[in-house]
Amino acid sequence: MAVQSGKDLLIKLDMVGDGSFETIAGLRASRISFNAETVDVTSLESTGGWRELLAGAGVKTASISGSGVFRDAGTDERARQIFFDGEIPLFQVIIPDFGVVEGAFQLSSIEYAGSHNGEATYEMTMVSAGALTFTAL
């Protein structure tokens, strides 16, 4: 597999709830993280005292984060609306030459910053709010 450009990892937002996804404007950096809790079922009878885990029993979560330059675009307005209205819309994450992750996420954090001699920036974090789908590219 060839090396991929970081700008090709895209975070997209369902703008009006009809499956029309748009890339969030101004992003410079983005990240998706997957986690799975473990359920320890080790007992005195576990072979050699080794820990045993119950397969598929833990809670799975995903989080998306991104930061960039504030552009005052439609996606910026939609992100603010999602946060203040407490909506849980669909997001897509395009992972180049790997696949597309899609599902409901809650916007759990949004931050704006700026300095007097620099651009206005933002950071946002979304956490999964249901089952996710993965489609290989």
Number of domains into which the chain is organized:
1
At residue 48, the pLDDT reads 93
Instruction: Identify whether 1 is part of a domain.
Output: no
Measured CA to CA, the distance from residue 124 to residue 68 in angstroms comes to 9
Residues across the chain:
137
Instruction: Identify whether 113 is part of a domain.
Output: yes
| Confidence (pTM) | 0.86
| pLDDT tens by residue, 16-48 | 989 899 999 889 999 999 999 999 999 999 999
CATH of the domain at 72: 4.10.410
Checking if the pLDDT of 1 tops 80, the result is: no
| pLDDT tens by residue, 49-93 | 999 999 999 999 999 999 999 888 888 899 999 999 999 999 999
Measured CA to CA, the distance from residue 137 to residue 7 in angstroms comes to 17
Instruction: Identify whether 60 is part of a domain.
Output: yes
| pLDDT tens by residue, 102-126 | 999 999 999 999 999 999 999 999 9
